[in-house]
Amino acid sequence: MEINVVDPYFQTLLFGIPLLLLILLTTKKDKEPHELNVSHTNQLKGLAILMVIFSHIGYFLDSGNSFLYPFSVAGGVGVNIFLFLSGFGLTLSALKSHHSVLGFYIKRLKRVYFPMWLFLTAVLLIDFFVLKVSYPTQTIVNSFIGYFPNAEIYDSINSPLWYFSFIVFYYLIFPLVFFKKNPLVSVLLVLLISLFVLKIELPVVPDVFKLYKLHFLAFPIGMFFAILESGRFKVSSLVKSTHPVLKIILSILLLASISYTAINSGVGERTMIEQFISLITMISFIFIVLLLPFKSGFLALLGIYSYEVYLIQWPILYRYDFIYKYLPAWISTLLYLALFLGISWVMKKIEGVILRPDKK
């Protein structure tokens, strides 16, 4: 259910102070190269999942849409970061190793499907036995397949799962169009296929189709970035050779750019304009992580569990809320972040037992 936050701006301040302290107190000098290694990608994932959660709370849970502003304005940027990192990671892995198409599907799809099935089973059972809510058989079948044609924020099994169908689309086409000897052709093919699919009448509601159109560029941009990193023109090498003073100046300029695009996000403008501004913000965050010689342990921890947190956060916040009812919004949000991490840790343990780590 929705919440009514008393004095939302003050409560946002009360929430923001311990959050920023948590990030800062777990931040230390980063001795690793200025590249998108596991540590840095986990930080970006942690940042992205916070953007998504804050957006859901600020614009859909809070009836006044004021709580968590301006933390809540970057949900779309968070989605783009996830898509970018998926394209980047898949391409970098494909350039370094070889998997058959079937091998790719087995390795990658089980990582996204099993946690979703685990979550979906739990939600359906809780909804049925606790909330006395049931869903049409076709909806349940579609959900287990991974087909989420609508994103009704208050009525769907889990509205953020529109993203699941979107990322699975890229997972399905990637091994079919990736050519190790000509990776740039692969980027072009992914882009062309995406454009073609967006030109046909997809069996999804208009709001979901608009989300596809808003975010389809981030994945191929991630692929392109991975190709640069694996070749002669490494972005990380350019960043590494940049003078420390210039790095600080560039970081300040990028933060200023993020502040501007947060206020002037293009929401409500044409889809292309909104997507362009979101991508600029995404790229700014990525370069800040590359430029600054620091890493946050809290953001990296969130990044490790970001997929599981993404799966569970909205149903817990909206349908199963048991904290906002009794405590102020600022402390409730902090407690929910801790709860999400705890549940995600358990899910990871179950995944580890069932799936077992890949040898490669």
Q: Report the Cα–Cα distance between both ends of the chain, in Å, rounded.
A: 44
pTM score, two decimals?
A: 0.96
For all residues of the chain together, what is the average pLDDT? 93
Counting residues of the chain whose pLDDT is more than 70, the rounded percentage is: 98
Give the pLDDT confidence of 107-130 residue by residue, as tens digits: 999 999 999 999 999 999 999 999
Please tell me what DSSP assigns to residue 231. S
pLDDT given at position 33: 67
Say if residues 108 and 89 touch (Cβ distance below 8 Å). no
pLDDT given at position 5: 95
73 Cβ neighbours under 8 A, 6+ residues apart: 55, 58, 262, 263, 265
Give the pLDDT confidence of 249-275 residue by residue, as tens digits: 999 999 999 999 877 888 778 889 999
What is the pLDDT confidence band of residue 360, given thresholds at 50, 70 and 90?
very low
Q: Is the pLDDT assigned to residue 30 strictly greater than 60? A: yes
| Cα–Cα nearest to 42, from 306, 348, 341, 262 | 306
In angstroms, the CA 247 to CA 242 distance is 6
Give the pLDDT confidence of 66-92 residue by residue, as tens digits: 999 999 999 999 999 999 999 999 999
Omega prior to 220 cis, within 30 of 0: no
Give the pLDDT confidence of 153-189 residue by residue, as tens digits: 888 999 999 999 999 999 999 999 999 999 999 999 9
Measured CA to CA in angstroms, residue 182 lies from 23, 93, 186, 187 at distances of: 41, 15, 7, 9
Say if residues 222 and 183 touch (Cβ distance below 8 Å). no
pLDDT given at position 261: 87
Give the pLDDT confidence of 305-321 residue by residue, as tens digits: 999 999 999 999 999 99
pLDDT given at position 235: 82
Instruction: Return the higher-pLDDT residue of 222 and 29.
Output: 222
**Strand, helix or coil for residue 31:** coil
Six token digits for residue 227: 């190709």
What is the four-CA torsion angle of 165, 169, 175, 177, rounded to 10 degrees?
A: -170
Instruction: Return the higher-pLDDT residue of 239 and 125.
Output: 125
- State the DSSP H helix or E strand holding residue 295, giving kind and residue range, or none if neither: strand 294-296
- State the DSSP H helix or E strand holding residue 145, giving kind and residue range, or none if neither: helix 137-145
Say if residues 80 and 283 touch (Cβ distance below 8 Å). no
Residue found under tokens 């975010």:
215
In angstroms, the CA 80 to CA 78 distance is 5
